[in-house]
């Protein structure tokens, strides 16, 4: 899940590009569909019913779209601000102001609600408070006995945070577009080979998170975005944007083949979805972002729509809050709807829609009355270098 700014500041990113907010919005909508309407991935019924269920289950790919966009924006910001003498201070200060208030504020809220009610939190919660749950596999065990709290999706925030810690130093040391691009390409390959090695050794059996949420195995989408960021700042920009649609179509064909052979697009043990599928997602989503940068293209018009941009604006809060809200509502409301309507379809649809509306409302309130107070402080960490920013790289027309 990306935690990039929902309101990019011109001091680091240049002209705001609405289409990228829409890309972020599309990612969170996919995740919401996957999580809010969870059900049997292979229900009884005709081919259409099974396809709809499989498509719902495939909504997890929204996380990889978040990753690609994060890699693209963050690497661009890092490269554009390299000449600034406060390079590290400004970057990390701005990241912390965007990420930490909501993340730790959410945990503080959960503690305030559950501890007085008699619920317990275990010491293993430190894995979440330190963004290390997806790498500290040796410290297994529940973090709390609160049944309606669901923060399993926070692994993606941890992957991004770990990327934010290491990648700025790499960019600073590499300096040039060419070397940064090569490093990103190597990172894509290394992450893909890591997943192949995990499968080849059988390490994912019993430890499937090594394949799905372990940082070394989930970096190819972030690096694909990073590579694209350097390409659009080079003399190959127009070629890359022109080639985006054919590359995207090729990725879709390969993903379709994997989907058919695996009877769905869910990274289960023994399927190629978690290996080749994730690689093709990273390539296809990078091409999608590139296509969205072409002025006047159908992709730019689609991602610039007001609805997707709205979801993109509040995507971080929606992502943080929605799973716990969904579990709380579904656990209570689904049995009631099923008992009164006799329809499993309605028992999934209605609580899911309610959970989505509440998640969006909570995210809006959180952003408007809480997060914005911290975002305003980002103006203290401006970039003062003279290097061209994104508005010079991606012209209006």
Q: What pLDDT score does 207 carry?
A: 82
Residue 290 lies in a domain: yes
CB 266 within 8 A of CB 59: no
In a domain, 315, yes or no: yes
Q: What single string gives the DSSP state of each residue in 330-355?
A: HHHHHHHHHHHH--HHHHHHHHHHHH
Q: Cα–Cα distance between 128 and 316 in angstroms, integer?
A: 17
What pLDDT score does 394 carry?
52
Three-state helix/strand/coil letters over 153-216: HHHHHHHHHHHHHHHHHHHHHHCCHHHHHHHHHHHHHHHHHHHHHHHHHCCCCCCCHHHHCCHH
Asked if residue 198 belongs to a domain, the reply is yes
1 in a domain, yes or no?
Answer: no
Element spanning 374, H or E: helix 372-375
Residue 4 lies in a domain: no
Residue found under tokens 């190819």: 220
Helix %, strand %, coil % for the chain, to 5?
A: 70, 0, 25
pTM of the predicted protein model = 0.92
Structural domains counted in the chain: 1
Helix 306-313 and helix 18-36, axial crossing angle in degrees, nearest 10: 80
Q: Rounded to an integer, what distance in angstroms lies between the CA atom of residue 68 and that of residue 278?
A: 12
Dihedral angle sign, alpha carbons of residues 353, 355, 361, 364: negative
d(CA 294, CA 298): 9
From residue 104, alpha-carbon distances to 110, 116, 145, 327 in Å are 10, 19, 19, 20
Q: Half-sphere exposure of 103 toward its Cβ, with a 13 Å CA cutoff?
A: 20
- Domain assignment of residue 2, yes or no: no
- Look at residues 34, 24, 32 and name the one whose alpha carbon lies nearest to residue 68: 24
Note whether 79 and 233 are within 8 A (CB). yes
Give the pLDDT score at 295. 87
pLDDT value at residue 331: 87
The answer to whether position 314 is within a domain reads yes
Q: Which residues of the chain have pLDDT under 50?
A: 2-13, 391, 395-397
- Give the pLDDT of residue 205: 79
pLDDT of residue 12: 40
Identify the pLDDT of residue 386: 65
Residue 136, domain extent: 13-393
Asked if 41 and 54 touch (Cβ cutoff 8 Å), the reply is yes
- The pair phi, psi for residue 10, each rounded to 5°, is -65, -15
**33 in any annotated domain:** yes
In this predicted structure, what is the pLDDT of residue 17?
Answer: 86
The partner residues of 120 in beta bridges, in order of sequence, read none
């Amino acid at each position: 899940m990306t935690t990039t700014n929902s309101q990019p500041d011109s001091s680091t990113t240049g002209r705001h590009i609405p289409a990228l907010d829409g890309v972020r919005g599309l990612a969170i909508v996919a995740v919401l569909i996957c999580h809010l309407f969870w059900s049997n991935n292979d229900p009884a019924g005709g081919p259409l019913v099974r396809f709809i269920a499989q498509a719902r289950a495939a909504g997890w790919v929204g996380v990889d779209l978040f990753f690609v966009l994060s890699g693209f924006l963050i690497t661009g910001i890092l490269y554009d601000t390299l000449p600034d003498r406060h390079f590290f201070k400004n970057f990390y200060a701005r990241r912390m102001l965007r990420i930490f208030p909501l993340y730790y504020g959410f945990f503080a809220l959960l503690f305030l609600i559950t501890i007085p009610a008699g619920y317990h939190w275990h010491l293993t919660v430190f894995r979440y408070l330190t963004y290390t749950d997806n790498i500290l596999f040796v410290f297994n065990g529940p973090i709390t006995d609160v049944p309606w709290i669901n923060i399993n999706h926070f692994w993606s925030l941890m992957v991004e945070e770990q990327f934010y810690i290491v990648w700025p130093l790499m960019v600073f040391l590499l300096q040039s577009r060419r070397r940064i691009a090569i490093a990103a390409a190597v990172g894509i390959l290394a992450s893909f080979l890591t997943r192949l090695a995990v499968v080849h050794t059988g390490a994912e059996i019993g430890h499937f998170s090594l394949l799905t949420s372990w940082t070394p195995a989930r970096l190819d989408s972030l690096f694909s975005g990073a590579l694209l960021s350097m390409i659009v700042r080079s003399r190959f920009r127009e070629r890359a944007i022109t080639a985006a649609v054919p590359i995207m179509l090729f990725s879709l064909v390969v993903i379709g083949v994997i989907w058919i052979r695996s009877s769905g697009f869910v990274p289960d043990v023994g399927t190629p979805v978690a290996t080749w599928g994730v690689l093709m997602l990273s390539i296809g989503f990078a091409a999608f972002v590139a296509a969205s940068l072409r002025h006047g293209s159908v992709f730019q018009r689609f991602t610039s729509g007001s609805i997707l941009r709205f979801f993109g604006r509040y995507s971080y809060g929606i992502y943080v809050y929605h799973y716990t809200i969904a579990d709380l509502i579904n656990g209570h409301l689904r049995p009631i709807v099923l008992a009164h309507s006799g329809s499993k379809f309605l028992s999934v649809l209605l609580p899911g829609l309610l959970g989505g509306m509440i998640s969006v409302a909570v995210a809006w309130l959180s952003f408007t009355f809480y997060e914005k107070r911290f975002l305003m402080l980002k103006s203290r960490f401006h970039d003062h270098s003279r290097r061209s920013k994104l508005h010079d790289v991606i012209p209006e027309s």
